[in-house]
Structure 1
C-alpha cells in the first residue's frame, strides 16, 4: 500500500520525534505529503498557570491562550527542523481540544491515509500523547495508523 498524505502527532517528546523521523524517512518512497499536528489540551491545565515573565495567569484569558499558541508554535517549529534535516517540508497544524478527537478530525479534514504517532509521550508539559491517546486513535481510526515504539524517553 502506498500512502500519499501522512499525519504525524507531535508533542516534542522523543516518542513523537521518532514518529516524525519515521514519516520523513518514508515520505519520499511514497511521494507523500507530511502533515504534523500539535494538540493543546486545555483539560490538562490547573486552574492557573505561571508565565515566567508575568507570574500567575488566569485560565482562558487572552494571555493564557497566547502562551499556549507560543508553545504550539515552538513545538511545530521543532518538527519543521527535524523534517528539514531530512530535506522534507511539513505542513503544520495547531489545534485546541482533546487529542483523541482532534487527531482523527484533522486526519479526516486533510484526507490523510496514514496517521503516525508515538507509543507514548510526555513532552515538555506532560499533556499530549499519554498512551490512552494513541490507543484511542488506533481503535477509533477509520484509516491506517502506525504506532512507533521507542525504548525510553531521552
Structure 2
C-alpha cells in the first residue's frame, strides 16, 4: 500500500484594517475558503492577517504655526497607532476563532499596498484576499486603490471581495 503524503495547506493572506470592507472580506474568506467544521484534525491552511500601520508622522521641532512638538506628543501618537493595530488584530482573530485554520498575525509599518505585495512574495502566499471600498474612477485616481495596486503587482492571485449593496 502506498504512503499518502498530506500536502502542506494553503497560505491565505487577508488584508485587515478595521473597516467594514476588510471585515466583510475576512468573513467571506472564512466562509468560502476555510471549513468551519470543528474536526479534531489540525488545520492545514494558514490565514495570515496583515495590518499595515501608517508611517509615523515626521515633525520638525516646530511646525509652520510655531507649535512645538515634544517627544511626548510623538510618542503618544505612536502608542495610539500601536494600540489601534492591536485592537484591529484582536477583533480579526476573534472572527477566525470558530474556523479550523491556523492564524498568523503580521503588523508592519508602511504603505499598505507595498506591505501586502511584499508579504505575499515573502511567504509565497497562494492567494491575497482584500476588501474593496468601491471607489469610482476619479476617487481611485486621486487617492489610489490598494486593491487595484495589489491586483497589478502581487506575486499571487488576488481576490477582491466587494460588499453587497445595502
User: What TM-score do you get using the length of structure 1 for normalisation?
Assistant: 0.73
Q: 2:34·2:100 contact (CA, 8 Å) conserved in 1?
A: no
| Bigger strand share | 1
Where do residues 93-108 of structure 1 align in structure 2 (5 Å cutoff)?
A: 93-108=106-121
Q: Per the alignment, do residues 78 and 63 of structure 1 end up closer, same or farther by CA in structure 2, a change over 3 Å counting?
A: same
What residue in structure 2 maps to residue 28 of structure 1?
Answer: 35
Distance across 1 between alignment mates of 2:117 and 2:130: 12
What residue in structure 2 maps to residue 61 of structure 1?
Answer: 74
How far is 1:46 from its partner? 9.3
Decide which of 38, 63, 68 is 2:51's aligned counterpart: 38
Q: 2:11·2:126 contact (CA, 8 Å) conserved in 1?
A: yes
Q: 2:25·2:161 contact (CA, 8 Å) conserved in 1?
A: yes
User: What TM-score do you get using the length of structure 2 for normalisation?
Assistant: 0.69
Q: Per the alignment, do residues 59 and 103 of structure 1 end up closer, same or farther by CA in structure 2, a change over 3 Å counting?
A: farther
How far is 1:111 from its partner? 1.9
What residue in structure 1 maps to residue 104 of structure 2?
Answer: 91
How far is 1:63 from its partner? 2.8
What residue in structure 2 maps to residue 126 of structure 1?
Answer: none
What residue in structure 2 maps to residue 12 of structure 1?
Answer: 18
What is the SS of the residue equivalent to 1:72?
A: helix
The runs of at least 4 aligned residues of structure 1 exceeding 6 Å deviation read 56-60
For residues 22-57 of structure 1, what are the alpha-carbon distances to aligned partners after superposition, in whole Å with 9 as ceiling and x for unaligned? 2222133994210100111237x696xxxxxxxx98
Distance across 2 between alignment mates of 1:57 and 1:38: 28
Q: Per the alignment, do residues 138 and 59 of structure 1 end up closer, same or farther by CA in structure 2, a change over 3 Å counting?
A: farther
What is the SS of the residue equivalent to 1:85?
A: coil
- In our comparison, the structure showing a higher alpha carbon Rg is 2
